[in-house]
Structure 1
C-alpha cells in the first residue's frame, strides 16, 4: 500500500504531474488557434461550449505545435524540463538545438506528445477534482440534492448516496494513476526522442577520448619531470651532506646542480599546469629535448654521485622535435629508475645510437639486490611504454645477467641529414 501510494503521490510522481500540466498550459495557445480555424467550418460561435469542438480544436492545434517545435530552443528547453521534472539522467538527453532532419523530427514528435498528453491530463486535473468533491460531499449537503441544481432523480436513491463518496475517491485515484502512468511513459520515451543522436554520441566519445589522452600525457610529463627532479635532488643533497666537511668542491657542485634542477623543473611544472588551468595561457617553458638538454641532464645526474657514462652516436639536432622530446623523457626516466633502485653511487651506462631508420636508447645499471618497493608502486615503465607505443616503437625492460637493462627502439621519420645510416 505504501509503495502504491508513493508511486501515485510521491515526489517524483508529483513533479512528473507538474510536467504534464506545463504541457497542457503550452497547448492552450495552439488550441485557441485551432478553434479559430475550425469555427468557420462548423458555423459555431462558441467552440468551447461543445466538447467535440474542443477536441477538434485540440486536434488541429497539435500539428501547428509540431511545426513551431522547429524553433532552435525547443529541444534545450524540453530537455531541461525533462531532466528536472521527469528525473531523466542528463547524459541520456541532448541539450543542444536540433540540427539534422532526423533530430528535428524527433523533437517535433516529443513536443507534440508532451502537449497532447499534457493537455489531456491538465483537462482531467481541472475537471475531475470538483466532480469528485461533489460526489464525496453529496450525502452531507442536502442542498445539492433538492433539485435546484438539476440533478437526476437517481441521485436521490440511497444506494447512489452510499456509493457517491467511493466513486469520488476512486475518480481521484484514477486521475493520480493516469498522471503517474503518463508521466512514467514520457520519462521512458524522452531519451529516445530528446536523446543524443549516434553522431552526438560519437562526437562525445571522441571528445572524452581526447580529454583522457591529454590527461594521460600530462600525467606522464608530471611523473617524469617532477619524479626525476625529486630523485636527483634527494640524492644530490644526501651526497653533499656526507662530504660537507671533507669535499667542499663537490658540495658546491651538488648545490649548483640542485639549484639548476629545481629551476628547470619549476619551469616545466608551470608549463604543464598551465594546460590544466581553465582560461589560463599555458606556460612558456619549452619542453626539454635531447638537443637542448641531454648534456645538462647527464651533468645534473652525475652531481649526485652517480657514475654515468654516455655514448651518443646520433645527432640530436637532426631529430624530429617530437622524437627528441620523447627520447629525452625516456632517458630521464631510465636514469631516475637507476638512481631510485640501485643507489646514488650506481654506475649507469647510457647509449643513444641510430641504427638504420631507428633510434635505439639503452640504459643499463648493475643489480646489487632486489629492487626496493615504493608506496603506491611506480608508473615510470608504464609511462615509457605509452610513449614508445604512441611513436610506433618497441621497449623491453628487465634484469639480465645481474644488470637491469632498458632498451627502446623508436622509428625515425625520414632520413636524418648528416647522421650515420
Structure 2
C-alpha cells in the first residue's frame, strides 16, 4: 500500500501546487489586476446603458444589466489595447505574474496592424477573464463560508440562504460543509485554469510578430556590420602600425650592429617609430570611441581621411611615389575619403609584410564619378609571409569597397613583374 500510496500522494501534492502554489497565486493576482483594469470600462458601460434603460445602473442588482455592462466593456477595452504602448506595459506585468520566459515576449511598442490586433486581443482576454475571476473571488468565498456554517448556525438556517438550501431538511444541511469546500476548490480550479490559459496565450499575443522578427534581424545585421567595420578599422590601423614599426626597428637594429653605425639613421628610425605609435594610438582611441556611442554619433570621429595621406606615407617605411589626379583630397566625400585612406593603409601593410622595403607607386584619380586607387610594387620573388589563420587584408579591402558600391582586386600584373592593387569607389556611395 505504501508503494501505491506514493504516486497518489505525489498527485495530490502536484494538484495542490497547481491550484494554490506560488505560480498559481501569482497568476491569480494577475487576474485580479485584470478585473481592476476592467472596472472603469464596466462603469462607463453602465452609464451608457442607463441612457437606454432606467433599470440599469452601476449598482443595479439585475444580473442581466451587469452582464450587459460586462459585454459592452470588452470592446472598449479592446480599443485601449490597440494603443502601441499597451504591449510593453502588458509585457512588463505578464513577465512577472504569468511565469512565462522573458525571451518569448516583444518589449517594443506595437506599431504594425498585426501587433496592435494581438495586443488588443490579449488585453481583452486579460480583463475579460480577470473580471470574471475577480467577481467570483469577491462573491464566492463569503457564500461558501456561510454555506459551511449552516449546520452550526440556527440563524443562518432560518435566513434566505437556509431556505435556498432547503435547511428544513436536516440531511441537506449536513452537506453544507463539503458543499462550501467544493465551491472554494472550484474557484481555485477556475482561477488556475484561467491563469494557465493566459500563460499559454501570452507568447502568442504578446510575442514578436513576423514584422518584429524582421526588424530584430535587421538590427542584428546592423550591429554585425558595425562590429565588422570596427574589426576592419582595428585591423588596418594597428596592423599597419605594427608592420611599419617592425620594419623600422629591424632596420635600426641592423644599423646599430654595423661596424660604423649611422646614428642619424637610427634617430630617424626611432622618430618614425614614435610618430607611428602616437598616430596609431590616436586612431585607436577614435575607433574604440565608436564602441561607446552609436554609429551615427561617431561618424565624425570615424578616422582619418585622405587629408592625412601625407603623414601616412611619410611614416610608412617605404619609398612611395604618389600621384594625385582630379584633387581627390578636396573633392571626395568624407566616407569615401576615410575608406580610401584605410585601403591605402592596408596596401602599405601588405607590401611591408610580403615584399619588404621596396619602392611603391600610388595613384589616386577622382574622375567620372568615382575614386580609383592603384598601388603597384615589384614582386621580390621571396616567399610570402603567412600568418596564423591567414591574412584578412585583401578581403577587408574588398569589403570596404563593396560597402560603397565599388570593388577591389589585387594580383600580379605586367607578366608577373609587379603586384597591383586596384580599388574603385563610387563617389555617390559617400553621399547616401
TM-score by length of 1: 0.74
1:37 and 1:388 mapped to 2: Cα distance?
Answer: 66
Matched ranges for 1:185-204 at <5 A:
185-191=200-206, 198=211
- RMSD, matched Cα: 4.4
1:286 and 1:75 mapped to 2: Cα distance?
Answer: 37
Question: How far has the Cα of 1:25 moved from its partner?
Answer: 0.7
1:252 to 267, 276, 291: 267
- Work out whether 1:126 is the aligned partner of 2:138: yes
2:127 and 2:414 mapped to 1: Cα distance?
Answer: 74
- Work out whether 1:261 is the aligned partner of 2:276: yes
Counterpart residue number, 1:240: 252
Sort the Cα spacing of 1:323 and 1:95 in 2 relative to 1 into closer, same or farther, 3 A: closer
Which shows bigger deviation, 63-72 or 224-233?
A: 63-72
Q: Is the 8 A contact 2:249 2:269 kept in 1?
A: yes
SS in 2 for 1:25: helix
1:317 to 312, 316, 327: 327
2:128 to 86, 104, 116: 116
Q: Is the 8 A contact 1:393 1:411 kept in 2?
A: yes
Cα offsets for 1:185-239 (capped at 9, x unmatched)? 44144226xx5683x6655554544443333223212221122113322432343
SS in 1 for 2:316: helix
Counterpart residue number, 2:43: 32
SS in 2 for 1:43: coil
Matched ranges for 1:172-321 at <5 A:
172-191=187-206, 198=211, 205-244=217-256, 246-278=261-293, 282=298, 287-290=303-306, 292-302=307-317, 308-315=318-325, 317-318=327-328, 320-321=332-333
Question: How far has the Cα of 1:22 moved from its partner?
Answer: 0.7
Question: How far has the Cα of 1:254 moved from its partner?
Answer: 0.9
Q: How many residues align?
A: 399
2:398 to 382, 385, 397: 385
Counterpart residue number, 1:60: 72
Sort the Cα spacing of 1:189 and 1:138 in 2 relative to 1 into closer, same or farther, 3 A: farther
1:133 and 1:310 mapped to 2: Cα distance?
Answer: 97
2:417 and 2:124 mapped to 1: Cα distance?
Answer: 74
Sort the Cα spacing of 1:63 and 1:332 in 2 relative to 1 into closer, same or farther, 3 A: closer
Matched ranges for 1:41-52 at <5 A:
41=53, 43=55, 47-52=59-64
Question: How far has the Cα of 1:349 moved from its partner?
Answer: 4.1
Sort the Cα spacing of 1:173 and 1:286 in 2 relative to 1 into closer, same or farther, 3 A: closer
1:278 and 1:231 mapped to 2: Cα distance?
Answer: 30
Segments of 5+ residues of structure 2 without an aligned counterpart are 1-10
Counterpart residue number, 1:371: 385
Which shows bigger deviation, 212-221 or 355-364?
A: 355-364
Counterpart residue number, 1:328: 341
- Work out whether 1:394 is the aligned partner of 2:408: yes
Q: Is the 8 A contact 1:132 1:168 kept in 2?
A: yes
Q: Is the 8 A contact 1:236 1:255 kept in 2?
A: yes
2:57 and 2:338 mapped to 1: Cα distance?
Answer: 83
Question: How far has the Cα of 1:248 moved from its partner?
Answer: 0.9
- Work out whether 1:17 is the aligned partner of 2:31: no
Sort the Cα spacing of 1:72 and 1:354 in 2 relative to 1 into closer, same or farther, 3 A: closer
1:131 and 1:18 mapped to 2: Cα distance?
Answer: 21
Question: How far has the Cα of 1:398 moved from its partner?
Answer: 8.6
2:358 and 2:249 mapped to 1: Cα distance?
Answer: 19
